[in-house]
Structure 1
Amino acid sequence: MGERRNYTDGFWWSKDGLRLHYRDYAGADDRPPVLCFPGLTRNARDYDGLASRLAGARRVLCIEFRGRGESAYAKDPMSYVPLTYLQDVEALLADLGITRFVAVGTSLGGIVTMLLAATDGAKIAGAVLNDVGPELDPGGLARIRSYVGKAVWHPTWMHAARALAENNADVYPGYGIEDWLRMAKRLYRVNSSGRIVLDYDMKIAEPFRVPGNEAGPDMWPTIDAMQGKPLLIVRGERSDILGAATADKMVARVKGAELVTVPGVGHAPTLDEPEVVEAIERLLAKVA
């Protein structure tokens, strides 16, 4: 039996003609919707837990950046950069007539969130930055560069789960095999040959391997653009991307910002952790 769907599929077009995909979880239209932006190699499936919890009370849109999931792959791999993702999101906002929303961004998705705040801050009603900030730890970036864009495949879901467990045990040390299976089904897809493969365009690695292309120039002004807005910063205690000092600096910089550190977890928290669920509820309560 297939999983029960509690969303509809939506599509929009980028300025350069790519058909892009999002999941649309229905909810009240009298309050700002929640837009979820995934990490570098991830897709809308990462946010199913969060979206399912919020659906009904709020509309939730889970975006798939170009080259991921059901979004089209780009002809030019050098378009796989945050500024292009920003333009793609702006095209979606214009298409749907969304003038105000709560942004939830994990890793790369958080960079796009920060850029949105800096370029059109009036649209941001509140934001969750998940394990990302204006300064990224070089060690973590080197780790990501070491694996992103390397095509791998597995004959069964159990093989995929065990490979994830072997490579990511330090990120989620408390995970059992069922947890790794759930993660595998978010990260991988079955291709036409019946192989289980990563669900993104391997060419997203090309610009990411160029130092500086993971974010851009000085990103601290994007944090200043969030002044006066509800802001939640989530950090994995073991994160090698968002350092503790950077997270503390972010909180000190934005009045009223909240920091939640998830114990025993690396990059990145799933946003399904109890302390994070409660913090997101607190943030949304501040957004009319």
Structure 2
Amino acid sequence: MPMSERSFLGLSAAGFHRVAYTQWGRDDAPAVLCVHGLTRNGRDFDPLALALADRRRVACPDVVGRGKSAWLPVPALYGYPQYCADMAALIARMGVDQVDWVGTSMGGLIGMTLAAQPNNPIRRLVINDVGPLISKVGLQRIADYVGKDPVFEDVAAVEAYLRFTLMGFGRLTDGQWRHLAEHSARQRPDGLLGLAYDPGIADAFKAQPMQDVDLWALWDRVTCPVLVLRGAESDLLTAETAEEMTRRGPGARIIEIPHTGHAPALMSEEQIAVVRSFLLDA
């Protein structure tokens, strides 16, 4: 199915900003939103979107400050209230009453936050390696690299950096790592490459005390069916928290992905099949 690049205007306290997204599938098909992690972008979901596009309309946004979306002039505005507002605007832009949601890490928390709201449009929710109790250990690991602005001579250097910082993604092929690298690089004015996100996204992240984050009150208000994917070696979503997610709130179904940490890349045929089955076979 063809992929198209689109955009819409979001609104923050500093004014309007452009939010880019890719769309796959037919406009009249049931909608799926795929939302990425903290430093990533919507092109991470290309293989999954392609696999869903025969039966779904799939939108994969670059959350503001990432990918091809605009950077906010005030870094303090980066945060979940803004991200949720922008995703609500995207749903309105698509003109749909219901969406299925696939969210990796930060994208999973945005989905969980929206799914906990009254009269929300989320029909089914896939949360990829995050939960309502977020480990301080995992947050510290992310804080150690987010917000840095390394410079690279070429895409191969970007790929080498990603292979190290994103090793939790699991056993990806060379082609998959190259795909991530090509869409993770931005052209700098000096002709070199940087990472395709605003280093300012780290300001709000690092301003919080480094401690476990408790969001159980949100989780307990979610009522739609939920599938949780957990990297077997994840340091962000513990096995204990995942197990508790099966007993509280919507009573999630948990699938553990072997040989993977934070977070499963959702690029392998096996991982894609799990998500496709949950969304399409309901």
What is the TM-score of this pair, normalised by structure 1? 0.88
Q: Hey, what does 2:231 align to over in structure 1? A: 236
Q: For structure 1, which segment, 273-282 or 232-241, has the greater mean C-alpha deviation from structure 2 after superposition?
A: 273-282
Q: Residue 177 of structure 1: CA displacement?
A: 4.5
List runs of 5+ in structure 1 lacking aligned partners. Answer: none
Q: Hey, what does 1:184 align to over in structure 2? A: 181
The answer (yes or no) to whether the contact 1:101–1:125 under 8 Å persists in 2 is yes
Root-mean-square deviation over aligned CA pairs:
2.3
Q: Hey, what does 2:127 align to over in structure 1? A: 129
Q: Residue 158 of structure 1: CA displacement?
A: 1.7
1:129-154 Cα deviation digits (max 9, x unpaired): 00111111101101111111110121
1:187-198 to 2 correspondences below 5 Å: 187-198=184-195
Q: Hey, what does 2:17 align to over in structure 1? A: 18
Cα separation, 2, equivalents of 1:286 and 1:199: 35
Question: What SS is found at the alignment partner of 2:237?
Answer: coil
C-alpha change, 1:276 and 1:230, in structure 2 (3 Å) is farther
The answer (yes or no) to whether the contact 1:28–1:56 under 8 Å persists in 2 is no
Q: Hey, what does 1:161 align to over in structure 2? A: 159
1:41-99 Cα deviation digits (max 9, x unpaired): 11111111111111131100001111111111111111110111001111222233221
The answer (yes or no) to whether the contact 2:67–2:184 under 8 Å persists in 1 is no
1:75-224 to 2 correspondences below 5 Å: 75-169=73-167, 171-172=168-169, 174-175=171-172, 177-211=174-208, 218-224=214-220
Question: What SS is found at the alignment partner of 2:200?
Answer: helix
1:91-123 Cα deviation digits (max 9, x unpaired): 222233221100111111111001111124541
Structure 2 residue 55 is the aligned partner of structure 1 residue 46: no
Question: What SS is found at the alignment partner of 1:113?
Answer: helix
Aligned residues: 279
Q: For structure 1, which segment, 119-128 or 240-249, has the greater mean C-alpha deviation from structure 2 after superposition?
A: 119-128
The answer (yes or no) to whether the contact 2:159–2:180 under 8 Å persists in 1 is yes
The answer (yes or no) to whether the contact 1:35–1:102 under 8 Å persists in 2 is yes
Q: Hey, what does 1:260 align to over in structure 2? A: 255
Q: Residue 280 of structure 1: CA displacement?
A: 1.3
Q: Hey, what does 1:6 align to over in structure 2? A: 2
Q: Hey, what does 1:284 align to over in structure 2? A: 279
What is the TM-score of this pair, normalised by structure 2? 0.90
Question: What SS is found at the alignment partner of 2:134?
Answer: coil
Cα separation, 2, equivalents of 1:279 and 1:265: 15
Task: Tell me which of 240, 244, 251 is aligned to 1:245.
Answer: 240
Q: Residue 196 of structure 1: CA displacement?
A: 2.0
Letter in 1 for 2:58: V
The answer (yes or no) to whether the contact 2:225–2:250 under 8 Å persists in 1 is no
Q: Residue 6 of structure 1: CA displacement?
A: 2.8
Q: For structure 1, which segment, 242-251 or 9-18, has the greater mean C-alpha deviation from structure 2 after superposition?
A: 9-18
Cα separation, 1, equivalents of 2:154 and 2:93: 39
Identity, % of aligned positions = 34
Letter in 2 for 1:11: S
Q: For structure 1, which segment, 67-76 or 185-194, has the greater mean C-alpha deviation from structure 2 after superposition?
A: 185-194
C-alpha change, 1:251 and 1:91, in structure 2 (3 Å) is same
Cα separation, 1, equivalents of 2:106 and 2:164: 24
1:136-189 Cα deviation digits (max 9, x unpaired): 1101101111111110121122222223334444x2564465443233223223
List runs of 5+ in structure 2 lacking aligned partners. Answer: none
Letter in 1 for 2:199: M
